[in-house]
Structure 1
Amino acid sequence: MTLSGRAALVLLGLVIVLWGLNWPVMKVGLEYIPPLLFTSIRMVLGCLCMVFAAAVMGQLRRPYRDEWTLVLSVGLIQMALFLGLVTIALQYVPAGRSSILAYTTSLWVLPIAAMTLGETLTRPRLAGFALGIGGVAVMFNPFGFDWTNPAVVIGNGLLLLAALCWALLIVYVRAQRNQGPPLTLAPWQFGIAAIVLLPIALLVEDASTVTWSDPVLLGVLFYNGPLATAFPFWAIITITRALPAVTTSIGSLGVPAFGVAASAVLLGEALTGTNIVGLLLIGAGVATVTLSDRNRRNEPDSDSTVSTENRTF
């Protein structure tokens, strides 16, 4: 399925809204269900939806032998580890701030790719990285951060650790020759995450405290499964076929911006100067790096590689 440029932009806008709104939605959900159990159910629902989508598109099959490495790495690191850490951190960190820190992933890719893949640290890339790190530094300045609260320190640290883990995965996937069809591999990746997370959640969390019939919880789970996980996964694949990669990458910066705004409106979170300045600097850094990569891809001797990151929020 190939969309027109205008239709793809509309679809991208819808994804930005769905993912941005999901930050306060997840924050609300954590009042009704423990974090790992929440993430596990999200993966189960995402898996079921992706099985249906792959079947409808005629792409439902078992992964080939050389595709299992990608299935396991994405399932374990991006979906299980990244989302697990982010959801745990959301217990302690405001939803808007969490959305900003989670989107530092692209910044950490730069130095890791330079060290492991030999990608060139051009001046625009270094400038973008410096802007992004400046944004992180602003958000962790001693005057805007409560260092005396261990839960806050741990929560913010988990968000940065999650972003770093995802960055390591992106660099690893970039080095793989066989990427595999996304819709074919997605059900297995979601399934792997669910298989790993669910036993851990049942072991360390008390599922008996969950009121499964609560309409708010049911609404949160429905939003997270089909609307904030499965549909955007399909949509991003469709969008990247219709729009330049740089448009999709920079457009995705609308997610933390919308997340901050939605959290302020729905949860009453304060729009602090620290968060706003941090968001602007991190957004400018990611945009600078992305534009630099686009320009290098247009050069005959470019050493840049295609980004394979799939966002799941």
Structure 2
Amino acid sequence: MNSLSPRVAVGLFLIVVLAWGINWSVTKQLVQFVPPLWSAAIRSWIALIGLAAILGLSNNLVIPDRRDIPVVLSVALLHMTLFSVLVASGLRFLPASKGVVLGYTTPLWVALAAPLLGKDTLTAPKLAGALLGLIGLVVILNPASIDWTNANVVLGAGMVILAAISWAANIIYIRAHRWIASPLQLLIWQVLVATIVLSVSATIADGLPHVEWSWRLVLLFLYSGLIGTVLAYWAMSMVNKSISALTTSLGTTATPLVGIAGAAILLGEPIDMSLVFAAALIVTGIALATLGDRLLRGQATARG
């Protein structure tokens, strides 16, 4: 796969941000009809079929090297399984607009946890960014924004935050992994493992699914599986070859903003000022942490 022109790469990147942002509203709707485990499993089956077609046609379907097996399992279990199920479960009780902001606190947990694990250095910009993000988290979890008397709402918020932490753990591991195959080539194997785990877990927990299918539900699943997963991951793999990592990292901070707007348009969710303020703090915090991380890596590269 060759690098793209800057204009095409930016266009694809905008598609990724839109796809991921809107997918939170889609997931919110899916879990109203299908239990979270089966919702994630069905979406994963659709993504698996789509990826098999894309990788087969582009001659990128390869058997993973045994040295790539740990990263396949890490992404499949921590991100595609645990993150997906926790988000889907949390969104049963939480508005999609609040869920997407809480879910995208992931870089803040990476900034805080990586230095504690000896995987990174906590610089001043990263510390400032993490603190801003944590203040934003406090704002969005304040009693005026989250009903602390409703146990389900609190549980939903906790699940989404735990999902963000599980994604952060996955990112920390990925940073240390020495890739043999490309991330896109390994994606289908990650989805395959996640699909098996999700399907078996859903069968054990909920039995066979009893779904009242409709065209709306089919379209929601197709969007989540093909647009929110296959197209977004494929596009991101192409974008990463053509745009700097700093640009993509900062650009993805727009995803929760798209998620908030999407929830307002598609679901009619209100946009209160505390949500906007919290989102601004968290996005700014992520940007600072990302800049600090890139500055540190740049200095390390300069020192050889």
TM interval, shorter chain, is over 0.9
2:148 counterpart of 1:129 = no
Match of 2:290 in 1: 290
Match of 2:275 in 1: 275
Q: How does 1:83-162 map to 2 (within 5 A)?
A: 83-162=84-163
2:172 counterpart of 1:171 = yes
CA deviations on 1:195-223 (whole Å, 9 max, x unpaired) are 011122122225553113x1111001111
1:69 deviation in Å?
1.0
Match of 1:228 in 2: 228
The one-letter code matched in structure 1 to 2:277 is V
1:27 deviation in Å?
1.3
Q: What's the C-alpha RMSD, in Å, of the aligned pairs?
A: 1.7
Are the structure 2 counterparts of residues 140 and 179 from structure 1 closer, same or farther at C-alpha, using a change threshold of 3 Å?
Answer: farther
1:32 deviation in Å?
1.9
CA deviations on 1:149-189 (whole Å, 9 max, x unpaired) are 11001000000101111111111222222363112211110
The one-letter code matched in structure 2 to 1:42 is R
Structure 1 contact 117–175 (Cα < 8 Å) conserved: no
Whole-Å separation in 2 of the counterparts to 1:179 and 1:290:
26
Match of 1:242 in 2: 242
1:34 deviation in Å?
1.4
Structure 2 contact 41–202 (Cα < 8 Å) conserved: yes
The one-letter code matched in structure 2 to 1:92 is F
Moved over 4 A (4+): 300-303
The one-letter code matched in structure 1 to 2:189 is W
In structure 2, list runs of 5 or more residues that go unmatched.
Answer: none
CA deviations on 1:45-102 (whole Å, 9 max, x unpaired) are 1111112222122121221111111111111111011111101111010011111111
Whole-Å separation in 2 of the counterparts to 1:208 and 1:199:
12
Whole-Å separation in 2 of the counterparts to 1:4 and 1:103:
28
Structure 1 contact 50–183 (Cα < 8 Å) conserved: no
Match of 1:180 in 2: 181
1:106 deviation in Å?
0.4
Comparing 137-146 with 124-133, which one deviates more in the overlay?
137-146
- SS, match of residue 241 in structure 2: helix
Match of 2:262 in 1: 262
Match of 1:308 in 2: none
Q: How does 1:60-75 map to 2 (within 5 A)?
A: 60-75=61-76
Whole-Å separation in 1 of the counterparts to 2:248 and 2:179:
22
Whole-Å separation in 2 of the counterparts to 1:301 and 1:251:
23
Whole-Å separation in 2 of the counterparts to 1:298 and 1:208:
50
Whole-Å separation in 2 of the counterparts to 1:268 and 1:12:
26
Are the structure 2 counterparts of residues 28 and 300 from structure 1 closer, same or farther at C-alpha, using a change threshold of 3 Å?
Answer: closer
2:7 counterpart of 1:2 = no
CA deviations on 1:226-246 (whole Å, 9 max, x unpaired) are 111001101001111111111
* Residues matched between the structures, number: 303
- SS, match of residue 110 in structure 2: helix
1:141 deviation in Å?
1.5
1:31 deviation in Å?
2.1
Match of 2:201 in 1: 200
Match of 1:218 in 2: 218
- Percent of aligned positions that are identical: 37
Structure 1 contact 296–302 (Cα < 8 Å) conserved: no
Structure 2 contact 65–180 (Cα < 8 Å) conserved: no
Whole-Å separation in 1 of the counterparts to 2:118 and 2:142:
32
TM-score, length of structure 1 as denominator length = 0.92
Structure 1 contact 27–91 (Cα < 8 Å) conserved: yes
